[in-house]
Each structure stands twice: as structure tokens, then as C-alpha cells.
Amino acid sequence: MEFVKLIASHSGRYSYSGGSNIAMDILGSFLASDVYHPSSYIEFAFNDCEECTSSNITALEKENGYILLTDLYSEEKIPTVLKMTQNQFVQILTDWEKILKLKPKEVIIKHENDQFVIETKD
């Protein structure tokens, strides 16, 4: 099982707290550092005219029904890619929007058997 953990700060923002591998680190950094308005990334997912975009630290690209996330500043020779379906990407962003409103103290995103599951703790 892969995972990434995010912790709420006193300001209500989330910071990356650790992950099981680089792909999950990319997801955690993307959510904590780049996604303040999930709706803009959801719009990107459904916009057939837009094939790629980037944020502060993450590059996003569409490929055959998948969304590919990579670290813009990777030091790897071949950068790690987190590949998820468009539906998975939209679901994570929809859930993240709820998390931003509810502000739980801890968020853990697990990836196992091609499924992403989000758990929260107060």
C-alpha cells in the first residue's frame, strides 16, 4: 500500500508530512502547495482543448484518459510520474475541496489496488 500524509497547520493550511514513495510525495505536495481552488483543476480535467498545465511545483498532462502528475523540479534522471484516471483525479479534488472546508488535523491518502482512499483524523 502506498500513502501520503498531510498535517494541518495553525493557519489551516496543509503541509506534507511524509509519503511511502515519490509518486505519493508528488500527490501530497500538489494538494498541499498548489490546490487552493480545486475547481480550476477539475475544469482542466474536463477541458478537451487543454492538454497540459503546471502549478507551483507540479506539472499535469493528459494522456489517453489519464492525468499524469510530475514534479517540476525533480532531480531524477527520469522523473517519477503519478498516473491516475480522470475520474480518480476529479474524485481526489472533489474530496480535497471538502477537506479544505472541514479542516481535519490530519489527512492520509492511501493508494492500493488502483484505488485512492482518503482518511481524515481530528
What is the residue range of 44's domain? 2-121
What's the pLDDT score for residue 10?
81
The pTM (predicted TM-score) of the whole model is 0.93
7, HSE (Cβ side, Cα atoms, 13 Å): 6
Q: Which residues in the chain show pLDDT less than 70?
A: none
How does DSSP classify residue 89? H
What's the pLDDT score for residue 12?
77
Q: How many domains does the chain have?
A: 1
Among candidates 72, 65, 62, 66, which has minimal Cα distance to 26? 72
